[in-house]
Chains A and B, each alone.
Chain A
């Protein structure tokens, strides 16, 4: 049981980075960006291909980050310059990335068994695999939260936040909303690619299919984080995303433990997210019902 929890926490920490990326587009920019499904694989593909060629795993992660930035840039240009709706822009990049990821890897999957990964340094100190993933995960998540907290407080960061809120007003204040949208998409996908690189090294392989459903998992984690851990200020929001991602992983581990087939996981996740997104609607149905019950009393 402890092992299951450790596994869930380690995986949750890595997926927390995906969650933060999804949060930037979905909540801050108010765009549902499906590029994530491709950029997470891209991160994994770049890191895996680099590592088997003997590149230092941390440098490999940095290259993955750049790859993710470019993926976000493409979606951003499609959306802002070519005026393609954001959802469709993301889908187009995602589909294009499938082929690009196959090109990067040269085949459908790459094994990283017995390779020197980002976790090796800790494993060599005698920490078990999950422990090493948790340590590296905490370092990465901590740095990312710190940097984002600073960045979204700067002039450019404020402009990006305002863009998702009211683009018309932002333009009236002399800000090019195309630039802010592109920047947001780039940062988001860069982070997701970093997560992909870390996940691939943790599971010891990169697979061209590994991104399927990642946007939904990210959304689920965002919503769980918001519902369970509040959203007072920006810092607590970022922390709530991490806790949300870990909670999601623990929930999944538990339902698997209870005997749900792993094949049904995506269905389970999709239904959970649908219900969570529909909560405000359910509430508005319930309100008049409650009132009429009270009256009847």
Chain B
């Protein structure tokens, strides 16, 4: 499904600020895999996601989605294969446009856009139906400007937009980190539900170890630009936070304790 082959990404090469964000990272995801990706600040999680999404070009290596080599494909072309939700709720939606207009933009992801009307009445009904499933009352506010919604509502909407047209791969970049704990929990549950219903292959970055253990069928941990842990199947099901900390200590030779990951 997704196959990452020895990708390397260096920021500010050959300067004093040189930072090897990704170092020879390789892994593959199977169809339907739901991977939670954890790691400290600056470990390369978000860079990895952005490289897959095409925000940054990689320096070496290849990225294949469904056997299509997307390494040199620019961001908007790759978008046809990807659904993305960002950390900042503001990033995923157009604030000055209505809820239905945002959905309509997402509904046409990967399609050629022409001079047809931007939203059809048939679509509106469809949007109303799926907005109902969010249970946020948004189905009655189709033309409300997205800028007027709360962070949680916007993130739920972004999630809907990312999956409105079934993506080959769903990328969730700490999409609950900016929300209050209760809202974060709701958005996570919603993510889980959609991923299971649609059987979506997913890569979810999180800072929260408990969330990383609770969700998905596979857990990867990054450290200094490398994937240092890759736990799946039965092993993943039995995993606890304590296990994770011990195992991280073994591979990195460091205590994970000072990291933000422990705090949440």
Interface residues of A in 185-241 (CB under 8 A from B): none
| Sample (14) of A-B pairs whose CB atoms are under 8 Å apart | A151-B115, A155-B114, A157-B118, A158-B97, A161-B94, A161-B97, A166-B90, A166-B95, A169-B94, A171-B79, A172-B84, A173-B79, A173-B105, A176-B76
Q: Is residue A126 within 8 Å, beta carbon to beta carbon, of the partner chain? A: no
Query: B108 and A173: CB pair below 8 A?
Result: yes
Query: A156 and B114: CB pair below 8 A?
Result: yes
Query: B76 and A155: CB pair below 8 A?
Result: no
Q: Is residue B116 within 8 Å, beta carbon to beta carbon, of the partner chain? A: yes
A-B CB proximity, top 3 nearest: A174-B79, A155-B113, A165-B94
- Chain A residues closer than 8 Å to B110, beta-carbon distance: 174
Q: Is residue A104 within 8 Å, beta carbon to beta carbon, of the partner chain? A: no
In the complex with contacts A169-B94, A174-B77, A154-B109 CB distance below 8 A: no
Q: Is residue A89 within 8 Å, beta carbon to beta carbon, of the partner chain? A: no
Bound-state Cα–Cα, A170 to B97, Å? 12
Query: A158 and B77: CB pair below 8 A?
Result: no
In the complex with contacts A171-B79, A172-B84, A174-B109, A155-B91 CB distance below 8 A: no
Bound-state Cα–Cα, A205 to B93, Å? 48
In the complex with contacts A158-B118, A176-B76, A170-B113 CB distance below 8 A: no
Query: A169 and B118: CB pair below 8 A?
Result: no
**Nearest CB on B from A166, distance (A):** 5
Closest to B162 in A: A172
In the complex with contacts A157-B118, A165-B97, A175-B92 CB distance below 8 A: no
- Chain A residues closer than 8 Å to B63, beta-carbon distance: none
Query: B105 and A171: CB pair below 8 A?
Result: no
Q: Is residue A162 within 8 Å, beta carbon to beta carbon, of the partner chain? A: yes
In the complex with contacts A158-B101, A176-B76, A170-B94 CB distance below 8 A: yes
- Chain A residues closer than 8 Å to B64, beta-carbon distance: none
Query: A166 and B94: CB pair below 8 A?
Result: yes
- Chain A residues closer than 8 Å to B252, beta-carbon distance: none
Query: B114 and A154: CB pair below 8 A?
Result: yes
Query: B115 and A155: CB pair below 8 A?
Result: yes
**Nearest CB on A from B114, distance (A):** 6
Interface residues of B in 48-103 (CB under 8 A from A): 53, 74-77, 79-80, 82, 84, 86, 90-97, 101-102
Query: A155 and B118: CB pair below 8 A?
Result: yes
Q: Is residue B239 within 8 Å, beta carbon to beta carbon, of the partner chain? A: no
Query: B76 and A158: CB pair below 8 A?
Result: no
Partner of A159, one of B80, B92, B105: B105
Bound-state Cα–Cα, A158 to B123, Å? 15
- Chain B residues closer than 8 Å to A169, beta-carbon distance: 91-94
In the complex with contacts A161-B97, A172-B92, A173-B105, A156-B76 CB distance below 8 A: no
**Nearest CB on B from A115, distance (A):** 37
**Nearest CB on A from B79, distance (A):** 4
Of the candidates A153, A157, A165, A173, the one having the most CB atoms from chain B within 10 angstroms of its own CB is A173
Bound-state Cα–Cα, A177 to B102, Å? 16
- Chain A residues closer than 8 Å to B94, beta-carbon distance: 161-162, 165-166, 169-170
Q: Is residue B106 within 8 Å, beta carbon to beta carbon, of the partner chain? A: yes
Q: Is residue A168 within 8 Å, beta carbon to beta carbon, of the partner chain? A: yes
- Chain A residues closer than 8 Å to B80, beta-carbon distance: 174
In the complex with contacts A165-B95, A171-B75, A154-B115 CB distance below 8 A: yes
Query: B116 and A154: CB pair below 8 A?
Result: yes
**Nearest CB on B from A165, distance (A):** 4
Query: B97 and A162: CB pair below 8 A?
Result: yes
- Chain B residues closer than 8 Å to A162, beta-carbon distance: 94, 97, 101-102, 105
Query: A155 and B108: CB pair below 8 A?
Result: yes
Bound-state Cα–Cα, A126 to B238, Å? 92
Bound-state Cα–Cα, A170 to B79, Å? 10
- Chain B residues closer than 8 Å to A177, beta-carbon distance: 76
- Chain B residues closer than 8 Å to A171, beta-carbon distance: 75-76, 79
Query: A166 and B101: CB pair below 8 A?
Result: no
- Chain B residues closer than 8 Å to A170, beta-carbon distance: 76, 94, 105
Query: B106 and A166: CB pair below 8 A?
Result: no
Query: Interface 1/0s, chain A 27-44, versus B by CB < 8 A?
Result: 000000000000000000
Bound-state Cα–Cα, A23 to B110, Å? 29
**Nearest CB on B from A178, distance (A):** 9
In the complex with contacts A165-B95, A166-B91, A172-B53, A153-B117 CB distance below 8 A: yes
Bound-state Cα–Cα, A177 to B110, Å? 14
- Chain B residues closer than 8 Å to A158, beta-carbon distance: 97, 101, 104-105, 118
Query: A156 and B115: CB pair below 8 A?
Result: yes
- Chain A residues closer than 8 Å to B108, beta-carbon distance: 155, 173-174
Query: B84 and A175: CB pair below 8 A?
Result: no
- Chain B residues closer than 8 Å to A157, beta-carbon distance: 118
Closest to A165 in B: B94
Partner of B76, one of A151, A166, A174: A174
